[in-house]
Chain A
């Protein structure tokens, strides 16, 4: 059969999920293959549904090589409406941002996605009517403000058969029991208690139904300022020191109000400044870390570096790559956040000091820092279920405003900030620096970041537990099926079949030797507490009264929010951080213990898998980290089959805890973009820079010289 590159009218229908409705479509759309300037591509149909924009390849049926890593919900050519970042139209070779009403319809459509894919669609061969419908449809459904209830989440939840329980190993923290277990696991229950004060959201709609506070804090105090000014427990370190967070009072103009608030805080600290509590340090994250606005600006610039139109673009930006990267400030923000987390870890671990993180709402940077500290200090958080439980605890139940921060409803650009992505980027730094310490892979983090934009899971589509709860009940005019049952993202089987899920498990993970099985069964907890360091004796505090002294400082800080860094402030030697950092790094790494990221300039890297995965020029044919990973997987497979053989030889039917190992065939020639991009270039033509040198102005005299000055003209005589 000869393959003719001509439009073929063929009926291809989009694969629709339950509750998904086709809204508009256009045929004879030409999708460019983003590879070279050759304008190669395929014809197909472009459709827009209430869930996604999809390109249906006319000859997709002939494509029989099933990718090894496939998302069951979002296909290769699917873009969920929430995943659309920006849409550009091309008019006479000029790019123009498309937002609202359109007067003229473009001949080319470029869609930039939040997962960094770039799609180029040519509409020149499409009927004018269809162009109008599809372009305005796509722009309308993906770029204009939306009501929460119009999210696909709800249509899906009411139409989908609910047969997954989705709970798996992840602790959801939506019950009192979950919090009590967590307290027990971390031995925090001596000083902290889980409270039910917020049942019915009596205290605040921003706080979760259940949370944990110091034992001595009374219900009245919690109720007084809607939970503001109350230290809320995140986690307890093995030595008893706790990580706490607190939402600050908004800056008050009224003098008498601020006096009252001061008195209130004073009271709180008086109550808890008695034993068993230890020293407390406070850190106002809104003054010691970049603002959400800074983070948003940095990321906006940063991602732009990876949304590349073509090869020329790629090489043009390559020349000044490092300074471009630096000018975005994104890596510097990652570095500062990691540094802050180390500072907090130092207080907890070495100084045995409680740390209280303060932020206006305590749901943004507080989540980042508290999660990072736990990932660094509690090896349970480095397991898959532990990490997922952590995200539930600090983010989902903790009340991070995913809906606003991701701007899923296009309500306000001002609220948008990639705070959760910042956390994932920071965790990735740790994953790449200490591969054996994590049960999950960087691929796990990448697909988790992609899942932010898949509106069939409730996990990332509410601002708070309250918002989710109040929207659970189906609207009266809708079905009578009762409350919606949403899926959680942690049920990975929804997106990936078992074979693909295997790529989320790290083959290098150095599992902790398991305690005796019989003991484990009797244990009350779902998981084992894992100490980060051998228990050291809590040194008797010489500064018992410190807490009180700190209080004034603290109150000023909370009320006025003008005093800067508390950690590393005058009462602590300034190099204690450095000393802690250096001394930890001078010792061999215990992958089950405390883990500190290396934060010097060369150590902070770009998360290549997430950011470069769709760029063909960046592909290493048969190279990259996947090359060694594939060798390890091959060997593991061999070892496993040997194990099976051994068992057979023993003729004992012992069932083993065999982790499923991904099957990689022809692994030697995998693309470094694996498992994401499937652009295995057929030709092995190397990628060559098209623009290279820039002037070395400052070294002009050297540039002009020859290697060795010898007059050769004499030789000619």
Chain B
């Protein structure tokens, strides 16, 4: 993991301000690519660091403890084989680390205990490293997202949409942000009634409004229809108000992200979907995106074929059998449908799944990314993540399992990773449309797990406020925005109001090798990218020419003016310079 840490003098390992050393030990790192590496492992309250003692060049490992999902002992006191006694560490970022230890003197027990304690602080009543991190950055990432100014950017509130503070103390819905945008014609009282009919009170609220068509993207959770097919007049009326708010008479389009069968099955537990009878002015489509368990299994299968070795003989069919790209395709297809509905058919859309914090967040944020070029800038993307994911209660803590030892928790699922993968696919298809580069996306994913920043901690705004996250921790955007050039795509071409539709075809979707297979030295991509490098060279060359040309013109002009006093007028010189651009 590359980060901006400083090496302290006379120290073997990098350390962040606030990071303290806990222990170190001689181990053999069982590198799956280069064989056993003798080295010393250092454990701090933030990371595991390994330095080889014999290899040239030196082999190092630098792993934030937050990425650790599971620590297992391998081999027992009676194990015979060489290097068969030690620790096996499963990471959330597609790798496993194995260390062999000496069998004598309980050497393993100590390191196992230290690792478990600091990797899973939540299970040991310890603070996340983010709360002890004393780093300083020139930018304050917590200032990036201000809901009020983001809505203002979208032209809200207006005569049809209002901002409500009904959830100021999270009384209406404890997984929603405090500030919500709802139809002007719906009263706070209406909202309360609607909340009773929506799973976990997650009522339909506005995510994005089209600046021209005034069609909106709304998000919510499933209606509580149940087996008996219950109806709720307030909910029905509320959806009608939403439909009418864009001034069109068209239908309201509801996208239920789930497969049809799952939506039906949800009735058994009190959920369901908007039936035709109750909502005659709405059209409903199922987007067939599978649940968090299917996605988790899919990623597990993907890891099996890329780590430690890339499946050789049947790469393509193996890749297909993981279904990972197929899921990506479905998510993108769903988002394209949402975006297209709003943009070319001018319908307002309502997106939900079961609870409206996983698939719903993927769909709304991706559709927004397709429709609004602001979200394709570095800052815009930060706002998008902050808004659609963090503030609207994507359960980062449960899905990632920050600091939690329960590695088999069924709540864990790579939903956010899947979203970032979709963004990567888009940036790959449109290499000039995004201000950020691949490194930006990888950095976000690395710190999704690292627990160095408060950005992704906890499940909701309500809980983050309770834990005073913005006061006590740093934002990931502080790191990124303080060193923006590192995350900038040189090919970025600003284009306003351009809808960007990726092609959700397997012919164009690819496995994100630079992320999923980045630990394998055989697969590593050329860094830096030669195309990018060439472009940068040309840019430098151009700037150099411009500079030299200006110098030349100045000297030439002075020569001329020396010899014949009145020849080159300033305006002539100006026009010459301008033609170069």
Docked-complex contact A632 and B538, CB < 8 angstroms: yes
Chain A neighbourhood of B552, CB < 8 A: 646, 649-650
Measured CB to CB, the closest approach of chain A to B557, in angstroms, equals: 10
Residue pair B549, A602 in contact (C-beta under 8 Å): no
B491 touches A631 (CB 8 A): yes
The interface bits of chain B over 544-576 (1 if a CB of A lies within 8 angstroms of the residue's CB, else 0) are: 011011001100100000000000000000000
> Is the Cβ of A635 less than 8 Å from the Cβ of B507?
no
Beta-carbon nearest neighbor of B226 in chain A? A713
**Chain B interface (Cβ within 8 Å of chain A)?**
196, 199, 224, 226-227, 230, 259, 261-262, 265-266, 269-271, 288, 290-294, 297, 310-312, 314-320, 323, 325-326, 329-330, 333, 336-337, 339-340, 344, 353-355, 358, 410-411, 429-433, 491, 493, 495, 498-508, 510-511, 513, 517, 521-524, 526, 530-531, 534-535, 538-539, 541-542, 545-546, 548-549, 552-553, 556, 580
CB proximity of A120 to chain B, nearest CB, Å: 21
Chain A residues contacting B337 (CB-CB under 8 Å) are 688
Closest residue to B301 on the A side, CB-wise?
A: A699
How far apart sit A521 and B135, CA to CA, in the bound complex (Å)?
62
Is the Cβ of A668 less than 8 Å from the Cβ of B493?
yes
Q: Residue of A at shortest CB range from B530?
A: A436
* Docked-complex contact A601 and B310, CB < 8 angstroms: yes
A-B contact pairs, 11 of them (CB 8 A): A435-B530, A582-B521, A601-B315, A601-B318, A620-B430, A622-B433, A628-B431, A629-B531, A688-B336, A711-B269, A716-B270
Given contacts A602-B523, A635-B542, A639-B542, are A314 and B530 in contact (CB under 8 A)?
A: no
Q: Who on chain B is nearest to A713 by CB?
A: B270
Other A-B pairs beyond A601-B315, A713-B224, 20, CB < 8 Å: A318-B507, A322-B320, A322-B506, A323-B320, A598-B522, A601-B310, A601-B312, A624-B431, A627-B491, A639-B542, A642-B542, A643-B545, A646-B549, A684-B344, A686-B340, A688-B336, A693-B326, A704-B261, A706-B265, A715-B199
Residues of chain B lying within 8 A (CB to CB) of residue A641: 580
Option from B266, B270, B535, B553 in Cβ contact (under 8 Å) with A632: B535
Taking the nearest CB of chain A, how far is it from the CB of B259, in angstroms?
Answer: 7
Q: How far is the CB of A299 from chain B (nearest CB, A)?
A: 17
User: In the complex, A327→B552 CA distance in Å?
Assistant: 63
Distance in angstroms from A710 CB to nearest chain B CB is 7
Does any Cβ of B come within 8 Å of A508's Cβ?
yes
**Is the CB of A347 closer than 8 A to any CB of chain B?**
no
> Is A705 interfacial (CB 8 A cutoff)?
yes
Cβ-defined contact, A639 with B545, below 8 A: yes
Assess whether A714 is interfacial by the CB under 8 Å rule.
yes
Give the dominant DSSP class at B's interface.
loop
Q: Is B505 in contact with A702, judged by CB distance below 8 angstroms?
A: no
Question: Within A604-625, which residues are at the interface with B (CB < 8 Å)?
Answer: 606, 608, 612, 617-625
Structural contact, B548 and A692, CB atoms closer than 8 A? no
Report Cα–Cα, A321/B522, bound state, in Å. 26
Please judge, given known A-B contacts A326-B314, A705-B291, A707-B291, whether A635 and B539 are in contact too, CB under 8 Å. Answer: yes
A292 to chain B, nearest CB (A): 22
Complex Cα gap A510–B580 (Å): 25
Q: Is A40 an interface residue (CB 8 A)?
A: no
- A interface residues, Cβ below 8 angstroms from B: 314-315, 318-323, 325-326, 331, 434-436, 507-508, 510, 582, 585-586, 589, 598, 600-603, 606, 608, 612, 617-625, 627-629, 631-632, 635-636, 638-639, 641-643, 645-646, 649-650, 668, 672, 684-689, 692-693, 696, 699, 702-716
Q: Is the CB of B315 within 8 A of A706?
A: no
**Distance A706 CA – B312 CA, assembled complex (angstroms):** 35
Which residues of B have CB within 8 Å of A325? 316
Complexed CA–CA distance, A507 and B541 (Å) = 15
Interface pair B508/A618, CB less than 8 Å apart: yes
A711–B310 CB distance below 8 A: no
Residue numbers in B under 8 Å from A688 (CB-CB): 333, 336-337, 340, 504
Distance of A331 Cα from B226 Cα, bound (Å): 51
In the complex, A507 Cα to B491 Cα: how many Å? 15
CA distance A598 to B507 in the complex (A): 21
B522 touches A585 (CB 8 A): yes
The 5 tightest CB contacts between A and B, nearest first, are A601-B315, A713-B270, A712-B270, A686-B501, A321-B506
CA distance A707 to B266 in the complex (A): 10
Residue of B nearest to A702 (CB): B293
- In contact, A708 and B411 (Cβ under 8 angstroms): yes
Which residues of B have CB within 8 Å of A635?
A: 535, 538-539, 542
Q: A686 — which chain B residues lie within 8 A by C-beta?
A: 336, 339-340, 501, 503
Q: Is there an interface contact between A712 and B271, defined as CB atoms closer than 8 Å?
A: yes
A704 to B503, CA, bound (A): 29
Contact indicator A707/B535 (Cβ below 8 Å): no
Q: Say yes or no: A508-B507 contact (C-beta < 8 A), given A627-B432, A693-B288, A706-B266.
A: no
Contacts known (A323-B316, A692-B288); A627 close to B530, Cβ less than 8 A: no
Instruction: Identify the closest chain A residue to B287 (Cβ).
Output: A692
Chain B, residue nearest A704 (CB): B265
Q: B316, A326: Cβ atoms under 8 Å? A: yes
Chain B nearest CB, measured from A245 CB (Å): 29
- Give Cα A685 to B491, complex, Å: 25
Complex Cα gap A702–B290 (Å): 9
Contacts A646-B545, A712-B224 given; indicate if A696 touches B495 (C-beta within 8 A). Answer: no
Report the separation of the CA atoms of residues A702 and B553 in the bound assembly, to the nearest whole angstrom: 72
B432, A693: Cβ atoms closer than 8 Å = no
Decide if A628 touches B291 in the complex (CB within 8 Å). Answer: no
List of B residues within 8 angstroms of A314 by Cβ:
505
Bound form: Cα–Cα A507–B537 in Å: 12
Closest to A625 in B: B431
How far apart are B413's CB and chain A's nearest CB, in angstroms? Answer: 8
B317 touching A323 by the CB < 8 A rule?
A: yes
Contact B534 A706 (CB under 8 A): no
Shortest CB-to-CB span from B5 to chain A, Å, is 26
B432 partner residues in chain A, CB cutoff 8 A? 622-623, 627-628, 631, 668
Chain A residues with Cβ below 8 Å from B498 are 622
Is there an interface contact between B491 and A600, defined as CB atoms closer than 8 Å?
Answer: no
> A689: which B residues are within 8 A, CB to CB?
329, 333, 504-505
> How far is A702 from B297 in the complex, measured between Cα atoms in Å?
9
Q: How far is the CA of A261 from the CA of B414 in the complex (A)?
A: 67
Residue contact A639 to B541, C-beta cutoff 8 Å: yes
Provide the bound-state CA to CA distance between A666 and B438, in Å: 26
On whether the beta carbons of A600 and B294 are closer than 8 Å, the reply is no
A714–B271 alpha-carbon span in the complex (Å): 11
Q: Are A645 and B531 in contact (CB under 8 A)?
A: no
B333 close to A703 (CB less than 8 A): no
Give the complex CA separation of A372 and B499 in angstroms: 43
Contact with B226, one of A650, A705, A716 (Cβ below 8 angstroms): A716
Report the Cα distance A436→B429, complex, angstroms: 21
Bound state CA distance, A319 and B430, in angstroms?
23
A321 to B312, CA, bound (A): 18
Evaluate whether A714 and B545 lie within 8 angstroms (CB atoms) in the complex, with A600-B522, A650-B552, A705-B291 already known: no
> Quick check: A627 and B294 within 8 Å, CB to CB?
no
A318 to B505, Cβ gap below 8 A? yes
A657 shortest CB reach to chain B, Å? 16
Distance in angstroms between the alpha carbons of A435 and B227 in the assembled complex = 60
* A321 and B507 within 8 A (CB): yes
The answer, among B291, B508, B530, for a CB contact under 8 Å with A703, is B291
**Which residues of chain B are within 8 angstroms of A638 by Cβ–Cβ distance?**
542, 580
Residues of B within 8 A of A672 (CB): 429
Q: How far is the CA of A598 from the CA of B525 in the complex (A)?
A: 10
**Given the complex of chains A and B, what is the CA–CA distance between A603 and B524 in angstroms?**
10
B94 smallest CB distance to A (angstroms): 14
* Nearest chain A residue, comparing its CB with the CB of B271: A712
**A696: B residues at CB distance < 8 A:** 290, 294, 323
Nearest Cβ in chain B — how far from A66, in angstroms? 25
Name the distance in Å between A197's Cβ and chain B's nearest Cβ: 46
Chain A residues with CB under 8 A of B507: 318, 321, 606, 608, 612, 618
A436 with B505, Cβ < 8 A, contacts A709-B269, A711-B269 known: no
A617–B505 touching, CB < 8 Å? yes
